[in-house]
Amino acid sequence: MRHVLTSFLALHWAVVFALLAYICMDGNRGIASALGVLGVSVQSSRFPGLEHAFVVAPLSVALLTVALLFCWAFVETLLNIATRPDASDAVVRVAFISASFLLSVILVGGAAQGINGLFMVVAIQITALLASYVAVLAERRSTLAAMTLHEADARLTAHRMATGAAHSSLLSRVSSRPETRPGGRR
């Protein structure tokens, strides 16, 4: 069974974090433009430290790393979910934890710089990440429940068929009639 929602969410977050990394590396305003995309208006003249390479480069690398983790999760869900579901779950879990940690670091760094309005934007992003992770877990559990139900149904059918055959054999022995097979012979 395909995990369409998991694939879509992994691809979505990979694109979001890759675009943030690209915008952050842009030479015009750096982190201020990336925060502007998220919804925080930051004037780079008020925060001149946000344009320096020693601040922009690690944040860009971190954003790109998270984007690559989500891309890896996307590829894992497309290729290996049927053969190794636990491996793809681990990748998805690591991607969501890394993204949450990175957004928390951005929040702490922005609070240290005194950037107003950053808390609400990061809280919304973390909530969206959490909702996405819960949706991924729900999709995985529904798939497992469907597979378990199918296996239980197959076992129940096999049990009923075996019970019916044993009952038929017992009745034929009790009645002293020879047991007949579908071909009419014994």
pLDDT of amino acid 116: 79
Asked if 13 contacts 95 with a C-beta cutoff of 8 angstroms, the reply is yes
Least confident interval from 13-22, 45-54, 79-88: 45-54
d(CA 55, CA 66): 17
- The most distant pair of C-alpha atoms in the chain lies apart, rounded to whole Å, by 102
The rounded distance, in Å, linking the Cα atoms of 101 and 78 is: 26
| 90 contacts: CB under 8 Å, gap ≥ 6 | none
What is the predicted pLDDT for the residue at 178? Answer: 60
pTM over 0.75, yes/no: no
| Cα distance between residue 68 and residue 81, in whole Å | 18
- Tokens encoding 89: 């779950």
For residue 39, give the nearest of 113, 123, 121 by alpha carbon.
121
Residue 141 CB partners (closer than 8 Å, separation 6+): none
Angle of the 53-79 helix axis to the 85-113 helix axis, nearest 10: 160
pLDDT tens, position by position, 134-173: 998 888 877 766 666 666 566 767 767 878 777 777 777 7
- Exposure class string for 134-171: b at 16+ Cβ within 10 A, else e: eebeebbeebeeeeeeeeeeeeeeeeeeeeeeeeeeee
Residue range 96-109, pLDDT digits in tens: 999 999 999 988 88
Section 15-28 average pLDDT: 83
